[in-house]
Amino acid sequence: MAEPKFGYAINAWGQPLVEESAVERPEQQERVFKVLSACKFRAVELDEGSGRWAPLGRREEIEIHFGTVPKFRAFLRSCGIDRICSWFYDPARGSNEEGSNGRSPLVVADHQGIVDSTRAFAQTLQELGGSCLVVRPTPSYWRVAPVTDDKLKAAADCWNQVGRMSRQYDVQTAVHPDFLSALRPGETLDRFLSYTDPDLVGLAIDTAEVTIAGGDSIALYERYPQRVKHFHFKNARTTDSLGEYQTRNAEFEVLSAGGKRGIQRWFWDMGTPGGLVDFPRLVKSLQSHGYDGWIVVEGDQSPDPAATTALNAYYLQRVLFKS
């Protein structure tokens, strides 16, 4: 089997358009990349963004700040980072560069725009040594409920087109349902996947998101071992047991503000006390099925991203992969 490949997601340092982002200036980026390298993570997942607050969010911004994509890669290498392994893309985010206020895969008229938009990401990923475009497959549940067959088919068709396009650049498209997603673990996700072309669209499992949504990452992986092309490894201590994904404005009310229970932090480092994800059993399953995609560790919602990176590195190195 191929050896698992590890990367780390830049979203730990704040997401584009969030004022608290800590990767705006080159010297900040250098420090972050060196921390990752010192923790033995040599591949990075970027987060799509637009405009001056997202200097690593898209090709145009990278070219503004580094001149060319190869120069950006040279900068990465100077920091001990070998490649950008993957890029997270959410079509709902607006893009001034594209004159878009956001698009929806459920809207057929938006499909060509999404394909055109993702092409630049796939091409840039290829130039940066990457191989996976990780996409948010639908808006949140509350925005699109009821989740009808027609909506699922429209979204599936959109990602089939993107998957066909990205293949031209040797980039795998993988859909990443989060815990607010319209694609719920189980029936809707199964139906959605059945409408996509398995040769074109893979599944990205985010261990925390699946757990919070009430699913089981291991069961999900074992249901689709050939279709899972990407992992986000992070932990959760709490599940959405109140079904608050259905709440109006759930991105704010639940993910950010913590819902009725005031959950301060949904996402945790892999070895956190009380963590609900059974990583040892998951990795055994990956080994037994010959998983060969990226495992990208995430530290979003950490108050100290560097500290969480080190904690995650410790868990990978001294616990999960210790004999």
Partner 1 sequence: MSNELNRKEFLKLLGGAAATLAPGMAAVQRALASDAGERDNDAAATRNIKWSYMDHWSILSPHGRTTPYASREYMEQYIRELAAFGFTGFDTFAFRLYALAGMYGSLQGFKSLLQDHGFEKLSGVFVSYPDKGKYHALHDRANQDRIVAECRAVMEMCRGLDVDNFVVMPGNTYWQTEPVTDDKIHAMADLWSRVGKMTLQEYGVKTSCHHEFWCSIRTPAEIDKFYRWTDPEHVFYWCDTAQTVIAGEDPTALYNKYAARTAGFHMKDTHNVDRKGEYRLPSDPELFAPSVKRWFWEMGTPGGLVDFPRLMAALKAHQYRGWLTVEHDKVEIDQGSFAESTGVAKWYIDNVLTPIYS
| Contact footprint for partner 1 (CB under 8 A) | 1-6, 27, 31-32, 34-43, 77, 79-80, 82-83, 85, 129, 264, 271, 273, 280, 283-284, 287-288, 303-307, 309-311, 313-318, 320-323
> Smaller CB distance to partner 1: residue 73 or 111?
73
> Smaller CB distance to partner 1: residue 169 or 268?
268
Closest approach, Cβ 224 to partner 1, in A, equals 19
CA pair distance 129, 163, nearest whole angstrom: 18
- The DSSP symbol for 126 reads H
Q: Is 166 left (phi over 0), alpha (psi -120 to 50) or beta?
A: alpha
Burial of 192 per CB tally in 10 Å (0-12, 13-18, 19+): buried
Question: Do residues 25 and 35 lie in contact, with contact meaning Cβ atoms separated by under 8 Å?
Answer: no
Q: Is the dihedral of CA 34, 314, 56, 78 positive or negative?
A: positive
All residues at 6 or more sequence positions from 283 whose CB lies less than 8 Å from its CB, including other chains = 4, 320, 321
Closest approach, Cβ 260 to partner 1, in A, equals 19
Question: Do residues 37 and 80 lie in contact, with contact meaning Cβ atoms separated by under 8 Å?
Answer: yes
> Smaller CB distance to partner 1: residue 40 or 52?
40
What ranges in the chain are assigned the alpha helix state H? 26-38, 59-66, 69-78, 111-127, 141-144, 149-167, 187-195, 207-212, 217-223, 250, 279-289, 305-314
Nearest to 295 by CA among 191, 167, 205: 205
> Smaller CB distance to partner 1: residue 79 or 92?
79
> Smaller CB distance to partner 1: residue 29 or 117?
29
> Smaller CB distance to partner 1: residue 178 or 298?
298
